[in-house]
Structures are given as C-alpha cells and as structure tokens.
Amino acid sequence: MSRNKRAVAEAVARGDREPEPLELYRQMLLIRRFEEAVQRLFQRGEVHGTTHLYSGQEAGAVGVCSVLREGDRVAGTYRGHGHALALGVDPQALMDELLGRATGVCAGRAGSMNIVDLAHGLIGCFGIVGGSIAAATGAALALERQGLDNVAVAFFGEGTANQAYFAECLNFAQVLRLPVVFVCENNRYMEFTPIEDVTAGSIRARAEVLGLLATTVDGMDVRAVRAAAATAVEHARSGAGPAFVETLTYRFVGHSRSDPGHYRKPGELDEMLERDPLKIARAWLLDSGEASEEELDAAEAWAAARIDEVTERALAAPFPAPDAGAREYKESFAA
C-alpha cells in the first residue's frame, strides 16, 4: 500500500466523512436544480447583476468536499454556488442572498459573487480571479500555525493559472509546506476565450515544477474526483505540503449572464452533455448495485421538491431595509 493510500485508509478509520455513494448523487442533483432555478430567477429579474452557474461542474465541488472534515476550510469563486452547497451551506440562505433578501447568508450585502459562510467552512467566494487561491493559502497558514489537523482548499478555474496570485501562492505554500489543496477546475474557457489561446504549456506542470503533488482527473466523474481529492487532501494533511488537482470539466451554460456563446467548438456541448456528471453517476450507481432505479428517482424528486420549496420561500422573504448608516458618511468598521 502506498503512503498515500495508507493515509487515506487511516483517515477513513479515524471516522472522516465517508458519504454513501447515493449521497454524492443527491448533492450533485441539488446543485443542478439550484442552478436551474437561479437561471430562471435571473431571467425573471429576481437575481440581479450577474451570476455564474456551476451546471456541468458539480462533480468537482461534490467530489472534493466529500473528503473534507470538520474544521477544514474552503475558498470558492464567483462561480461558487456549487462550492457552497457541496460544503453544506443552507440552500435557503444561499438563494435568499442571491435574491437580495434580508434572510440571505450575508443579509443581502454580498450577492452571487461574494458569498461568505464561515460557519460551514466557506472562507468566501471571491470575485477577483485568484482571490480564492490567496485566501486558502492564508487559511492553511493559520491552520498550520494553530497546530490543527486541518487543510484548506482553493477552487479556481484554469484561466486563473495565468494570474499572479497563482504563481506567487503556489510557491509560497510550497516553501512553507502549508496544508492546502489547489483545485483547478478546467472547463476549457476563461470567460469566452479558449484557454489554449492564452496559456503556454500545461498548468499542472507549473505545479509539478514547484514540487507540489499534482494530478489531473476526469472532472465529470465524481468517483474519480473524490479519489484524487482524497490523495491530495491526505498529502496536505500529513504535513507534506500543498497538492494540486486539475479536474477536466465543462460548463453547460454561459460564463455569466452576458455570454454570447459563440466560442464553443461545434458539437462540443452535445458531446459533453453526454458526459454529464449526473448521467455518469447514475449509470455507475445502477451498474454497481449501489442504488436502485427507485432510489435514484426518489433522489431526483427530492432535489426538485427541495429547490421548489427554497425558491418559493426565497421569493417571499423580506428585503433588507436600507441601513440608516449607509446614507450617513460614517465609516464601516467592525466595532
């Protein structure tokens, strides 16, 4: 048994979260239904500004978060609804936030791109490309200095590998041997520009050359992501330093609300829809006998009903009253 496999086995023995396979499917379904609802609500003018959906990428957040334990920290991106939900952020509080309601997870102050829920380990979703990498690096520093047996995870897109934050933080984390896992979700496009048009060489190689444990994995298969994440997280948790995981994935919807969509290669979307992480998981659950058709249908019905309920309640939730202080010229500092 390799050092890492043994570490994982030990982690499982210690009682780290080991979800039922069906539970992974349920979480992915919940995210997909959530994002579909957000899309509808955006079109109705209930979600404002802009929003970046996670549809198609669910196996990434669900697979990675499934190997985390109490006290671990996660930094997500402006495409962060999936990161938040996979971590266990309350879908109601999240939806209420997107609708700008007082009951939102940040009371309507943050909006889709900037969600923070520390109680669930979410350091934040960061609107600046690369911000998540810095936040997780710092969280890992805190965890390590506090002597805790926890790791931090940064989610970010492949386009972010060209940002200064990426080069600086990976090196910083490696020289300090910080317990951080960098998860690069490669969905092939930055906003509308194909990644190969603006990226030299391989992104994983940039991590490898710094000596990080680095791997690339099928990001549409939640089992594969989970296995790769388990190895990476255990590496970081063991004190061996940071690890890097690249998930090969695809987003089924536009980058954000203003996406022209012309940039996709012909046939690519249809081809990738065949590799829908929900389809793959469903087939695997059935084939392996982990779940029956009835159980899978029940999961579908549960997710749909849950999101319907969340949507309805969010629409009925109150808006925040403008803070009198917001109109005064008083400084917003913590007391």
User: Which residues of this chain interact with ligand TPP, rule CB under 6 A?
Assistant: 79, 127-129, 156-160, 185, 187, 189-191, 255
Of 187 and 231, the one with the shorter C-beta distance to ligand TPP is 187
CB 81 within 8 A of CB 35: yes
Counting DSSP H helices and E strands in the chain, the numbers are 13, 6
Asked whether the CA dihedral 156, 159, 160, 161 is positive or negative, the reply is: positive
The span from the CA of 210 to the CA of 161, in Å, is 14
Residue 153's beta-bridge partner residues?
74, 181
Query: Going by DSSP bridges, is the β-strand pair 213-218/243-248 parallel, antiparallel, or unpaired?
Result: parallel
Q: Cα–chain-centroid distance for residue 49?
A: 21
Shortest distance in whole angstroms from residue 108 CB to other proteins: 3
Tokens 């971590």 appear where? 87
Determine if 262 is a binding residue for other proteins (CB under 8 A): yes
The span from the CA of 208 to the CA of 154, in Å, is 17
CB 84 within 8 A of CB 94: yes
| Among 13, 326, 334, 335, contact with other proteins (rule: CB under 8 A) | 326
| Among 190, 229, 253, 278, contact with other proteins (rule: CB under 8 A) | 190
Of 109 and 279, the one with the shorter C-beta distance to other proteins is 109
Number of residues lying near other proteins (CB under 8 A):
48
Which one of ligand TPP, other proteins, none interacts with residue 187, CB within 5 to 8 A by kind? ligand TPP
| Among 21, 36, 120, 128, contact with other proteins (rule: CB under 8 A) | 128
Determine if 322 is a binding residue for other proteins (CB under 8 A): yes
| Among 21, 22, 39, 50, contact with other proteins (rule: CB under 8 A) | 50
Determine if 332 is a binding residue for other proteins (CB under 8 A): yes
| Among 3, 40, 109, 145, contact with other proteins (rule: CB under 8 A) | 109
Of 1 and 200, the one with the shorter C-beta distance to other proteins is 200
Shortest distance in whole angstroms from residue 134 CB to other proteins: 12
Of 11 and 75, the one with the shorter C-beta distance to ligand TPP is 75
- CA distances 105 to 65, 116, 274, 300, Å, are 20, 7, 35, 26
The span from the CA of 184 to the CA of 249, in Å, is 10
Cβ-based neighbours of 199, under 8 Å, separated by 6 or more: 158, 159, 161, 162
Determine if 4 is a binding residue for other proteins (CB under 8 A): no
Of 50 and 238, the one with the shorter C-beta distance to other proteins is 50
Of 22 and 195, the one with the shorter C-beta distance to ligand TPP is 195
Nearest to 83 by CA among 8, 183, 215: 183
Of 35 and 185, the one with the shorter C-beta distance to ligand TPP is 185
Binding site for other proteins (CB under 8 A): 48-50, 100-102, 104, 108-114, 127-130, 159-160, 162-164, 190-193, 197-199, 256, 258, 260, 262-263, 319-323, 325-332
